[in-house]
C-alpha cells in the first residue's frame, strides 16, 4: 500500500493509538543497577566522570540499594574497591573480601533485592589486568582457577547470580563446574559473552580503580571491528552453561545485540556502560539535550534491538520516570 491510500500518520495522530500499537516497552523489571563498594566507612565519593555515581562504603551502599529497591529495581550488580591489591587479586576470593562482606550486608538488610556479582580480577590486582600475568600477558588457564574461586566465594557469601566479565577462554565452564561441585548448582551465571575492548569504559576505570598499569586488554577482550566473532563467543558460553548472555558496551553494538537475539533463545542482557552514561550527563549539563527523553530513548533502543535485561547507571532515574507514568 502506498500514499494516499495508506497514511501512516492516521495511527500516529492520537496518543492512545500510539500506545496501543507500540512494538516495544520498558519495565522496571528489565533493570540492573551497577554499584561500587569501597573498603572503609563513611565513604560516599562521587566519580568525577560519572555525575551521580559514587564509590560507597558498605553501610552507604546498603542504604542506596534499599532506596533503589523501593523504586522497583529488582537487582544490583556489585564491583569492589578493596583495601589492598596484589599480583593475584587475593581480595577477590577472600572470605572477608569487600564484595563478600557487601553481599552479606545486602542480603541481611534488603533480602528481596537480587544481588549479582561481577567476577573478574582487574579491581583486585595491583597491575589492573583481569588475571595472573605471565610473560607480559594474562595467563588464561592459570586465571581460570582464581575466577572459579572468586565465583564460589560469592555464592558462599549469598550472591544470587554471578557474572564473569574477564573474557578468559573457558571461564564459564570452570565456574559452572566449581559451583555445581560445591552445591551451588542453583546459582545462575550471566556471562559477558561479547565484551569488546572499548574506549567507552574510561569512566568505569576511574570508578573501579581498575586501569591497567601497563598495556591494554585487547589480547582478551574483543576487537570492535568483529561481528561474527561475537556469535562464536556467545555460542561457547552457552555450551559451557551460561544462563544469560550479555553484550558490552551497548549503544555502539546494537547490531551485536540483534545478532545474538536472532541466534539464541536464552535471556539476553546489554550493558549501558559508563562512557555512554557520562556522555548523556555531560550533554545534559550543557543544555544540549533533553536528558530524560534521551535516557528513555536509549533504553528503548536496547529493547528494540532484542535485549531482555539492561545494566545501566541510569536505573534509578528510569525507575522514577516509569513510576510517574
Kindly report the CATH number assigned to the domain that includes residue 57.
Answer: 3.20.20.70
On the question of pLDDT at 217 being above 90, the answer is no
Cis peptide before 4 (omega within 30 of 0): yes
pLDDT for residue 272 is more than 90: yes
- Which of 195, 281, 303, 323 is catalytic? The answer is 195
Q: Cell numbers for 279, please give them.
A: 556522555
Task: Please give the average per-residue pLDDT across 80-98, as a whole number.
Answer: 93
Please, what sign has the CA dihedral across residues 302, 304, 305, 306? positive
325 domain residue, yes or no:
no
Select from 217, 219, 222 the least CA-distant residue to 233: 222
Tell me the CA end-to-end span of the chain in Å, nearest whole number. 35
Question: What does the block give as the cell for 284?
Answer: 545534559
pLDDT at 255: 98
Query: What's the pLDDT at 65?
Result: 98
282 is a domain residue: no
Query: How far apart, in whole angstroms, are the C-alpha atoms of residue 7 and residue 10?
Result: 6
Residue 254's pLDDT band (boundaries 50, 70, 90)? very high
Pairing of strands 268-272, 309-312: parallel
CA distances (Å), 206 to each of 48, 54, 61, 157, in order? 8, 11, 18, 27
Cα torsion 148, 154, 160, 161: sign: negative
pLDDT tens digits for range 180-195: 999 999 999 999 999 9
- 85, 248, 281, 303: the catalytic one is 248
Residues 6+ apart with CB under 8 A from 288: none
How many residues appear in the chain? Answer: 325
Whether residue 229 is predicted with pLDDT greater than 90 in this model: the reply is: yes
What is the count of structural domains for the chain?
Answer: 1
* Mean of pLDDT values over 279-287: 98
249 preceded by a cis bond (ω within 30 of 0): yes
Separation of CA 284 from chain center: 23
Q: Are 247 and 268 in contact (CB under 8 A)?
A: yes
Annotated catalytic residue 108: no
Residue 315 lies in a domain: no
Q: Tell me, what's the pLDDT at 251?
A: 97
Looking at the predicted structure, is the pLDDT value of residue 283 above 80?
Answer: yes
pLDDT-derived band of residue 210, with 50, 70 and 90 as boundaries? confident
For Cα atoms 78, 242, 262, give the angle at the middle one, nearest 5 degrees: 110
pLDDT at 129 > cutoff 90:
no
Give which of 147, 123, 114 is closest to 39, Cα–Cα.
123
Its domain, for residue 149, covers 24-246
Write down the pLDDT at residue 205.
Answer: 86
The answer as to whether 62 is a domain residue is yes
Does position 1 have pLDDT exceeding 80, yes or no? no
Mean pLDDT over the full length of the chain: 95
CA distance 76 to 81: 16
Note whether residue 286 is domain-resident: no
Q: Are strands 133-134 and 114-119 parallel, antiparallel or unpaired?
A: unpaired
Q: Is 303 a catalytic residue?
A: no
Least confident of 32-36, 201-205, 267-271: 201-205
pLDDT category, 209, cuts 50, 70, 90?
confident
- Is the confidence at residue 305, as pLDDT, over 90? yes
Query: Strands 133-134 and 244-248, how do they pair?
Result: unpaired
Determine phi and psi for 306, rounding to 5 degrees.
125, 5
Span 235-264, mean pLDDT? 98
157-169 mean pLDDT: 95
On whether residue 203 sits in a domain, the answer given is yes
- Whether residue 134 lies inside any domain: the answer is yes
In a domain? residue 212: yes
Amino acid at each position: 500500500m502506498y500514499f494516499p491510500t495508506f497514511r501512516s500518520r492516521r495511527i500516529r495522530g492520537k496518543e492512545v493509538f500510539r500506545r496501543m500499537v507500540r512494538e516495544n516497552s520498558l519495565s522496571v523489571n528489565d533493570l540492573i543497577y551497577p554499584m561500587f563498594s569501597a573498603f572503609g566507612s563513611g565513604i560516599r565519593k562521587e566519580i568525577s566522570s560519572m555525575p551521580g555515581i559514587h564509590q560507597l562504603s558498605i553501610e552507604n551502599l546498603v542504604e542506596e540499594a534499599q532506596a533503589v529497591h523501593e523504586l522497583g529495581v529488582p537487582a544490583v550488580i556489585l564491583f569492589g574497591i578493596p583495601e589492598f591489591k596484589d599480583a593475584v587479586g587475593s581480595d577477590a576470593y577472600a572470605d572477608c573480601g569487600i564484595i563478600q562482606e557487601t553481599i552479606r550486608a545486602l542480603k541481611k538488610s534488603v533480602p528481596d533485592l537480587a544481588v549479582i556479582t561481577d567476577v573478574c580480577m582487574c579491581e583486585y590486582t595491583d597491575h589492573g589486568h583481569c588475571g595472573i600475568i605471565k610473560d607480559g600477558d594474562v595467563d588464561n588457564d592459570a586465571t581460570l582457577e582464581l575466577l572459579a574461586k572468586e565465583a564460589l566465594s560469592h555464592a558462599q557469601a549469598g550472591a544470587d547470580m554471578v557474572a564473569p566479565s574477564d573474557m578468559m577462554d573457558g571461564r564459564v565452564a570452570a565456574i559452572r563446574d566449581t559451583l555445581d561441585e560445591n552445591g551451588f548448582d542453583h546459582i545462575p551465571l550471566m556471562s559477558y559473552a561479547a565484551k569488546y575492548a572499548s574506549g567507552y569504559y574510561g569512566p568505569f576505570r576511574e570508578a573501579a580503580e581498575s586501569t591497567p598499569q601497563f598495556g591494554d586488554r585487547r589480547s582478551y577482550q574483543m576487537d570492535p571491528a568483529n561481528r561474527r566473532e561475537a556469535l562464536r563467543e556467545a555460542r561457547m558460553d552457552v555450551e559451557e552453561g551460561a544462563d544469560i548472555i550479555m553484550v558490552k558496551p551497548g549503544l555502539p553494538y546494537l547490531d551485536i545485540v540483534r545478532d545474538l537475539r536472532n541466534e539464541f533463545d536464552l535471556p539476553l542482557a546489554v550493558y549501558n556502560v559508563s562512557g555512554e552514561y557520562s556522555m548523556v550527563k555531560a550533554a545534559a549539563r550543557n543544555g544540549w539535550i533533553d536528558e530524560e527523553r534521551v535516557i528513555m530513548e536509549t533504553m528503548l533502543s536496547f529493547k528494540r534491538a532484542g535485549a531482555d535485561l539492561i545494566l545501566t547507571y541510569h536505573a534509578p532515574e528510569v525507575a522514577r520516570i516509569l513510576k510517574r507514568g
